Amino acid sequence: MTGLLEVEHLTIRSPGDPPLVREVSFRIAHGERLGIVGPSGSGKSLTALAIAGLLPDGLTVEGSVRLDGREILDLPEAELARLRGRRIAMVFQEPLTALDPARRIGRQVAEPLAIHGLGTPLERMARAEALLRAVGLPPERASPDSFPHELSGGQRQRVLIAAALAAGPDLLLADEPTTALDLVTQRQILDLMDELVAGRGLALLLVSHDEGVIARMCRHVLVMEAGRIIRSGPAAAPSTGGAVLPPQPRERPEPPALLAASGVSRRYRLPGGAIRQAVDRVDLAVAPGEAVGLVGGSGSGKSTLVRLLTGLERPDAGLVRLDGRDPAEPAVPRHPVQLVFQDPFDSLDPRWRVGRILAEPLHGLRLAPAVRHRRVLAALAEVGLPAEAVRRHPHTFSGGQRQRIAIARALVAHPRLVVLDEPLSALDRPLQEQVLELLAALRARHGLAYLLVSHDLDIVRRLCSRVLVMAEGRIVEEGPVGQVLLRPASAAARALLAARLAPPAPPVAPPKAGDYEP
Amino acid sequence: MRPGGIPRSVLRIAAALLTLVLASVLVFLALNVLPGDPAAVMLGTEARPDTLAALRRQMGLDQPQPLRWWQWLSGLARGELGTSHTYGVPVAELVATRAAVSLPLALLALLVAVGLGIPAGLFAATRHRRTGDLATMAVALVGLSVPAFWIGILLVLLFAIGLRWLPAGGFPGWDAGILSGTAALILPAIALGLPQAAVLARVTRTAIVEIMRLDFVRTARSFGLTRTEALRRHALPNALPPIVTVLGLQFSFLLAGAVIVENVFYLPGLGRLVVQSVGGRDLPTLACLVMLLVTAVVAVNLAVDLLLLRLDPRLRQRG
């Protein structure tokens, strides 16, 4: 096999700082697949961007990148541009923003053909339509005349893949191509990439923080950390990890429940006048000290249900009772239930210092300033952050630390129920592990009840004893976590289980000959 | 389409018409109902009461206010604008000769603003935070800070008095030929347009720099575009909405706000007519002028709104 891509001693620097990527070397043969895995900030995405000459401004790069033996690292922008799309194509992480909002998708898929002067305009549009079909977007599902905002995230990622393949490249660089997608869509997109890459004999460099994704697609993996390759070898399924808590031998929650909902429904009017039943006659109960998981695909109504249960919104029909009272009543104190949200970057006010952020749930409790301060410091200590954090702003903390701050904010009011809405989704796997352990320890220490909303059954399994499965606004299945995981009764639960990437690592199809000609 | 099936563009047009009707009420109230009797002003303080009453009847001032408003508005719509008290000629004729100066002047000034401002903004954006950018923005800041009439005086000194290329002021009328008419407007148009070009350059630069950081520009480069090509093909179309919005505001300003430059160059434009009719209490002319300018502003805003709907497909759906 000849080397298609050879990277040697690649070093990327931001002037004045230690190198972001140091001395990275690897090679990819025609039709071969290689994965790069590592936590955020390990330099894996920068490595991919450097190969395509798309590094952000202000970074300098040294070393060597050869394509078919030809040095491309020091090529002028115009010559490098000629390789992009035609020889080296790229798929990015964020499908919601990666497409031009003002252009129809057909034209965007055809754009690489136009740029490289392949075919007549008419042929290009026909080609774009065929490509959209090949990525599972036939005209009846998404017309080539649609604009990106009319498509879902998964569909937009399909459009990007179609565009990346349009001019028949030899090498596909995929930078976290499924990270922003929910698990079911992630699985579909990986299947699609697998099929297309194998069918066209493409070489693939797949960058991800998720070992499961790499194991699904690649045989060989490089592990990066702090800008260096620290390990290289066969891609293996990640360890699934043991339960943080021993499964609790808890009987059905005995009344009175801490949180109870009966026949709760909520509908919305969509733009255009259609009615959407977001939550449909849901009954549920959470006992004091119980940890209940709420799982479901995106759009199943989980988030709306959470808003109803916490009194942020009123149901159209049905009753919600928190400690026997309606949480949507203005006079009912809110502090017994606290929320932790998915994104620790968005859920903390960037202009407030941490001390003020943490004291906010205490507003209205009429505590003496000294008591308030003691509570804030105690909550910080609980989540393992130093007391001096109160004087700092959120942006001076890492993502994992910010999620700890969000958890501390929930704890400070001494709640009885904490609603965790996808609390780990925005974190790397090692950080997920730490936060998971913290949540388990806090629950044991304070006898907290948790309602954990997630699409990730593995996380639910490790924190909760009972799980509710939601689909199309209804609870379609309910039971002990072990039972639902082993013998799922509903189609929704089976779909979520099938979307889990661990442990299968299917063999990679041998590259086939037959170059794609546009 | 919106709930109820009414397209967004139709709603915008209806809103514009409603704005015009409301504006006509305000203009009417301001000029007719507020203290100050036009008939008394015309006759002076020595007038006899019966002469005053006769004139009021003749001018229709004795009729109820809403009826007078309706007669005035329907007259405007039919083109019956009344007679100027000061000049004694039909208002329509007076305004038309002035608009024949002001409208071409505003368009020329806009041409100067677009022709200089947008390329300068693009140039600065491609050299973001480098010398070319800093120099362009420094020049733009000077352009913003120096008043238009001062630029006008400098232009006259240089091109009319020094080089003798163009007339220093006055307007020969379009009857004297398109060329000499246009020549008279060139220096005023530059004086008016330069500060606007500076504004436009800054808006363009900021919009482009922000868009060049977005993911889809990187995607476009990954398809094989160079940075400059990606700017032209993807960043510029997406930067047009803020640019067009500013252009709309500028055009309204150029049409109505050219008084000072018209005075510097002795141009018989709408701006000077406004000042003259205010000074002479020439209410029929003033009412007509104000409505004309209001209509122009509303029309330009409507055009901008409709254009934005074309430029950004996302606006067509959002409620």
| Predicted local confidence at residue A257, as pLDDT | 80
- What SS3 state is found at A171? strand
Distance CA A379, CA A365 (A): 16
Q: Output the CA–CA distances (angstroms, integers) from residue B212 to A4, A91, A412, B127, B274, in the order listed.
A: 31, 18, 43, 12, 45
Whether the pLDDT of residue B179 is over 60: the answer is yes
Residues of chain A with pLDDT below 50 are 1, 238-253, 503-518
- Complex confidence, ipTM: 0.72
Average pLDDT over residues B233-253: 90
Looking at this protein, which amino acid is placed at residue A152?
A: S
Q: Tell which of B211, B223, B309, B314 to mutate to test the A interface (max A CBs under 10 Å).
A: B223
Phi, psi of A346 (to 5 degrees): -95, -20
Residues of B in contact with A163 (CB under 8 A): 219, 223
Q: Summarize pLDDT for B195-215 with one digit per residue, the tens.
A: 999 999 999 999 999 898 888
Tell which of A87, A93, A100 to mutate to test the B interface (max B CBs under 10 Å). Answer: A100
Kindly list the distances between the CA atom of residue A291 and the CA atoms of A43, A452, A513, in Å, as whole numbers in the listed order.
37, 7, 53
Question: Whole-angstrom Cα distance, residue B296 to residue A372?
Answer: 60
Neighbours of A378 (CB within 10 A): 14
Long-range (24+ apart) CB contacts under 8 A made by B69-72 are B69/B24, B69/B25, B69/B28, B69/B32, B72/B24, B72/B28, B72/B287
How far is CA A135 from its chain centroid? 22
| CB pair distance less than 8 Å for B219 and A99 | yes
Write down the pLDDT at residue A253: 41
Residues of chain A with CATH 3.40.50.300: 258-336+415-500
Domain ranges of chain B: 8-78, 98-316
Q: How many CB pairs under 8 A join A and B?
A: 90
Q: What is the pLDDT of residue B108?
A: 93
CA neighbours within 13 Å on the CB side: how many for B262?
Answer: 24
Residue B52 CB contacts under 8 Å (≥ 6 apart), including other chains:
B39, B40, B43
Q: From the CB of residue A3, how many other CB atoms can be counted at a distance below 10 Å?
A: 15
Mean pLDDT, chain B, rounded, equals 84
The arrangement of secondary structure in A258-336+415-500, i.e. its CATH architecture, is 3-Layer(aba) Sandwich (3.40)
CA angle A319, A322, A326 (to 5 degrees): 50
CA distance A413 to B64: 68
The pLDDT score that the predictor gives to residue A171 is 94
Contact B238 A92 (CB under 8 A): no
Q: Which contiguous run of DSSP H or E holds residue A61?
A: strand A60-67
pLDDT score, position A396: 83
Full strand arrangement of the beta sheet holding A317-322: A275-286, A259-269, A317-322
CB–CB of B314 and A97 under 8 A?
A: no
Q: What are the strands of the beta sheet with A417-421, ordered from one edge?
A: A337-340, A417-421, A449-454, A291-295, A466-471, A474-480
Given this model, what pLDDT does residue B234 score?
92
Phi, psi of A311, rounded to the nearest 5 degrees: 80, 10
Q: Provide the pLDDT confidence category of residue B154 given band limits of 50, 70 and 90.
A: confident
Evaluate whether A328 touches A314 at the Cβ level (below 8 Å): yes
B250, B110 contact by CB (below 8 A): yes
Report the gap between the CA of A94 and the closest CA in chain B (Å).
Answer: 8
Which of helix, strand or coil describes residue A62?
strand
Per residue in B56-96, pLDDT tens? Answer: 787 777 778 888 888 888 888 887 777 777 777 888 888 88
**Chain B residues whose beta carbon lies within 8 Å of the beta carbon of residue A85:** 222-224
Report how far residue B223's alpha carbon sits from residue A86's, in angstroms, rounded to the nearest whole number: 8
Please say whether the beta carbons of A321 and A259 come within 8 A.
yes
Q: Does A147 touch chain B (CB under 8 A)?
A: yes
The per-residue b/e assignment along A465-499, b for 16 or more CB within 10 angstroms, e otherwise, is bbbbbbbebbbbbbbebeebbeebebebbebbeeb
Quickly state the pLDDT bin for B8 (edges 50, 70, 90): confident
Predicted local distance difference test score (pLDDT) of residue A252: 45
A99 contacts B224? CB cut-off 8 A: no
pLDDT-above-90 percentage for chain B: 22
Nearest Cα neighbor of A499 from A188, A176, A218, A197 is A188
- Please tell me the predicted confidence (pLDDT) of residue A516: 41
Q: Which CATH number fits domain B98-316: 3.40.50.1100, 1.10.579.10, 1.10.287.1080, 1.10.3720.10?
A: 1.10.3720.10
Q: Please judge whether A84 and B220 are an interchain contact, meaning their C-beta atoms are less than 8 angstroms apart.
A: no
State how far the alpha carbon of B175 is from the alpha carbons of A450, A471, B87, B100, B106, in Å: 85, 77, 21, 11, 20
Which residues on B lie below 8 Å from A166 (Cβ)? 223
Residues B127, B201 contacting (CB under 8 angstroms): no
Residue by residue, DSSP assigns A316-380 as SEEEEEETTB-TTSTTS-STTEEEE-S-TTTSS-TTS-HHHHHHGGGTTS---HHHHHHHHHHHH
More confident residue, B115 or A142: B115
Encoded amino acid at A353, one letter? R
Contact A101 B216 (CB under 8 A): yes
Q: What is the DSSP letter of A395?
A: G
Q: What are phi and psi of A5, to 5 degrees?
A: -125, 130
Amino acid at A63: G
From residue A195, how far is each of A86, A129, A200, A512, B263 by CA, in Å? 20, 18, 9, 12, 74
Peptide bond into A503 cis (omega under 30): yes
- A90 forms beta bridges with A173
More confident residue, B126 or B5: B126
Q: Are B20 and B294 in contact (CB under 8 A)?
A: yes
Measure the CA–CA gap between A49 and A174, rounded to whole angstroms.
10
Residues A208, A214 contacting (CB under 8 angstroms):
yes
Residues A214 and A502 sit within 8 Å (Cβ to Cβ): no
Looking only at the bridges linking them, the beta strands covering A228-234 and A220-225 are antiparallel
Cis ω before A256 (30° cut-off from 0): yes
Check: CB of residue B164 under 8 Å from CB of residue B83: no
Element containing residue A55 per DSSP (H, E):
none
CA distance B311 to chain A (A): 7
Residue A98 to residue A111: CA distance in whole angstroms: 14
Is B220 in Cβ contact with A100 (below 8 Å)? yes
Question: pLDDT per residue over B282-308, tens digit each?
Answer: 777 888 888 888 888 899 989 998 888
pLDDT tens by residue, B130-143: 888 889 899 988 88
